[in-house]
Amino acid sequence: MFNVECLSLPSVKRKKLRDIALIIRQELIIEATGFNSGVSESDKTYTEIYRVKEIKLAYGKPGKEFFLTTVRYRDGSIGSNPNDMTATLIRNNEIVANDGSFQEIFNKFKALLFAPLALELLGCLLVRNAYCLDHRKDENNNWRYYINPEILNQLHTLIEHNEIFDIEVFLYYLDMIAVNEDVKYQTLGYDISKGVGRENNMLTYANLIGVLLNRVDFIKFAGGLVRKPIGINAISLKMALKVFPQLAPTRHNLFDSQCI
């Protein structure tokens, strides 16, 4: 069994958590905007970010919004998103997934209804990922999402009979989508320190898990999705601590050696 304190937040203050995340998010944006790009949607250049067994997780550039002329900037102007990317799963040089839609992700969560503890752990990880609490520098000095091995083993144990998807691949995939969201919103002139991008995405996923666990009201959640910004209904930090009690801060430091 893993040390549950590894899931606890370092603070219950949203501003402090945002401050922790901001420099990581900004450096991830700088890295991502520097990735090489192909010349068309059918001729993308792929940059590998993670690898799990035979699955390569990579960004394909250019993304579809590169070719649009209807992307709305914060100042009201209309154009394209020149930095758009597509988070892509590749096996044996064949693309196996690159949708990343809310419906696709919802279906993955729904597939775990048989394992409520796995859903609860996943919700905790998503709230933490909203604030980049599990990101570390790799050997190339780039920020990468780090999944605590003991928590990952517990997730594998809880869903060992589910062959729909690999939970490790899924967690990396969600992180890559979050990076692209940050890239998009910063490109469009938004201040990512205010909640847009990664934070809103991850906390909307966590809110959905709360619904599946019958801890968040479905009607309120669905109603929030149709209000602007459409498709976003981020769980509040206060509510997250109720829905996922493992997040409650403890006396241990975020980088306590017991959590490595």
148 belongs to a structural domain: yes
Residue 132: C-alpha distances to residues 127, 136, 138, 153, 202 (Å): 9, 9, 14, 21, 10
Residue range 34-64, pLDDT digits in tens: 999 999 988 999 999 999 999 999 999 999 9
Average pLDDT over residues 223-236: 89
Any domain includes 67: no
- Given pLDDT bands bounded at 50, 70 and 90, which one contains residue 251? low
Q: What digits encode the pLDDT tens for the residues 157-169?
A: 988 755 557 899 9
Q: What is the pTM of this model?
A: 0.92
pLDDT of amino acid 258: 43
Q: What share of the chain is helix, strand, coil (3-state, %, to 5)?
A: 45, 15, 40
User: CB of 202 within 8 A of CB of 88?
Assistant: no
Q: Say if 94 falls within a structural domain.
A: no
∠48-51-54 over CA atoms, to 5°?
115
64: in domain: no
Query: What does the pLDDT average to over 170-192?
Result: 97
Name the strand (E) or helix (H) holding 129.
Answer: helix 116-130
Helix, strand or coil, per DSSP, at residue 55? strand
Q: Give me the pLDDT at residue 103, please.
A: 81
Q: In degrees rounded to 5, what are phi and psi of residue 207?
A: -65, -40
Identify whether 108 is part of a domain.
yes
What range does the domain containing 26 cover?
A: 4-34+99-259
82 near 66, Cβ under 8 Å? yes
Q: Report which DSSP code applies to 66.
A: G
Question: pLDDT band at residue 230, thresholds of 50, 70 and 90?
Answer: confident
Tell me, yes or no, whether 90 lies in a domain. Answer: no
Evaluate whether residue 153 is within a structural domain.
Answer: yes
185 within domain boundaries: yes
Domain count, the chain: 1
Q: Helix or strand or coil: residue 247? A: helix
